[in-house]
Amino acid sequence: MTSATVAATTDPADELQQAVDALLERSDFKWTLQYEQNNRQGWMGFEGRTGSEGYTLVKTSRNYVGQPQNGDLPAKLVFGGKDGVAEIDGHWLRPRQLAERTPMGAAMSVLANSRQNKVLVERFDVPRPELLLPALLRGCEDMALEHGAITATINPKTALALLNTGVARAGVLYARGTPWPEVPGLGGPFWEYVRADGTATFWLNHGKLVKYEVILKGQLKPGPPERWLPTTVMITTLLGEPGAITVEIPAAAKAVLDRVDLPQFPGLIR
């Protein structure tokens, strides 16, 4: 179990804020993350390296962007702020470029007929510490020191925003307004959450944040209220020592992220 030390005389909220600020200001840190949905243990894991230049390199434990001909292989992604690119067949691609790779078998299986259906990926979602932690702290309430860890409740507004903005989601988000394979008996798109709340636990070691766990419970909206689906998301993250590593981001990935003139729909939308 992760050791934790928080002074009993220190305000837990202040102690936690200082630890998070110190982590994100230093940057160049390594993290490992386990993402579970509806108690599916080991559903998806991530290993990330966040660099001081504002880029994050992420490796997945399983097939994140989907390469059906290769089975359940890991994926490699690079993020710059909220934008991300994935390495597919040796090329770094933005989300909406995946549809153009379908004939080569390198896009998501749900996009197999994307040229006809125009089903597009809007973005890649990974609950990265540099995005999740600041948003999470703004919505934490009733912080308390319990058994050497800081616990908090997450207000409904923040919990809902964390899920619907993708900050606390793992996977891909499909573009609004594009056709989506219907779920039998439920209808069309159901990625949007309509209700949510949650809890968070933070472990500190000598003033440094070393681990946190976020549990969000919400309801997905596939149709009328009687069809809303209860969903539980658990995010467990272990943090490495800030400044202990040097993060090297592939130059080709940075070049794609930095290009503002790169078409998002190459030859797809007429």
Q: Is residue 160 part of a domain?
A: yes
Establish if 269 belongs to a structural domain: no
Q: What is the pTM of this model?
A: 0.79
- Mean pLDDT in the chain? 76
Domain of 90: which CATH number?
Answer: 2.50.20
**Cβ atoms of residues 99 and 119 within 8 Å:** yes
Does residue 3 form part of some domain? no
* C-alpha distance from residue 55 to each of 48, 49, 94 (Å): 10, 9, 15
Enumerate the H helices of 127-203 as residue ranges. 129-138, 156-164
Domain of 179?
12-258
pLDDT score of 223 more than 60: yes
Residue 146 lies in a domain: yes
Q: Tell whether 59 is covered by a domain.
A: yes
Q: Would you say residue 1 lies in a domain?
A: no
Cα 107 to Cα 38, 65, 100, 241, 266: the distances in Å are 26, 7, 8, 35, 14
Provide the pLDDT confidence category of residue 110 given band limits of 50, 70 and 90. very low
Residue 78 lies in a domain: yes
Helix or strand or coil: residue 270?
Answer: coil
The total number of structural domains that make up the chain? 1
Residue 267 — pLDDT band, cuts 50, 70, 90? very low
180 assigned to some structural domain: yes
Most confident among 172-176, 211-215, 226-230, 237-241 (mean pLDDT): 211-215
Is the pLDDT at 5 greater than 60? The verdict is no
